[in-house]
Amino acid sequence: MIPAGGVLRIAAALALPVTIAGVVFVLLTALQALAVGAARRARRLAMGGALAVLLYGGFLIGASLASSEVALEPGQEKSFCGLDCDLKFSVTRLLTVPPRSPASRAFYLTLRARSDARAVSIAPASLHAWLVSADGRQFDPASGRGVRIREPIAPGALVDVDLRFEVPAGVPGLRLAVTEGGPLTRLVIGDENSYFHRKTVFLLPEPKPARRLTP
């Protein structure tokens, strides 16, 4: 039996392709009506398609504006949910390193990926990570916002990725944002990647001095 949360995720994921298919069908029907001289019918159909797009956009933006930011403590896991929520991430440590600029602070954050899958290895798609400050500034890792995990994550496996950051000294309230999913997820109702949707972020652990990590 699929849990209620899974049913909602399936419904949200299906809403976009169903809406697109419906609008395309309506527009093709409108073009057919126009071709046979039924201009009034074609106009009504086109208006119906436009209304469907507006309604979908309203639900998309409304769900995003109704969302709220969630802050996870160090070590707490964030689940990435397609249909199964098998992939989980957490921030396990922060290691300070000498900055390249005296006006900056530099550190490595360890991002841990864990798979709850029973049999299938998971390859994270379009994984991104960046820091967000309390005043809204964003800072990408030295290697870029895209996070690369070289091999699919086996069932029950843990994979650690070290991300190097260098930020201005004194930046307040840093949190780590981590997202997963391609461009189309921006159009999925209720998806964290959708427009204006607030994120689930990680609070940073207490810093520890690093021995030596290569950038």
Query: What's the chain's average pLDDT?
Result: 87
Confidence band of 15 (pLDDT split at 50, 70, 90)? confident
Mean pLDDT is lowest, of 70-74, 118-122, 185-189, for: 118-122
Check whether 140 has a pLDDT greater than 50.
Answer: yes
% of the chain at pLDDT higher than 70: 90
Q: Residue 82's pLDDT is what?
A: 59
User: Rounded to an integer, what distance in angstroms lies between the CA atom of residue 192 and that of residue 101?
Assistant: 34
User: How far from each other are the two terminal CA atoms of the chain, in whole angstroms?
Assistant: 46
What is the average pLDDT across 15-36? 91
> pLDDT exceeding 90 applies to what percent of the chain?
59
- Cβ(152)–Cβ(123) below 8 Å: yes
pLDDT at position 7 is 62
Note whether 109 and 163 are within 8 A (CB): yes
User: What counts of helices (H) and strands (E) characterise the chain?
Assistant: 2, 10
pLDDT of residue 9: 65
CA-based nearest residue to 121, from 159, 168, 158, 154: 154
pLDDT band at 84 (very low <50, low <70, confident <90, very high): low
What mean pLDDT is predicted for residues 76-94? Answer: 83
Q: From CA 47, how far away is CA 102, in angstroms rounded?
A: 60
Instruction: State the CB neighbour count (10 A cutoff) for residue 45.
Output: 21
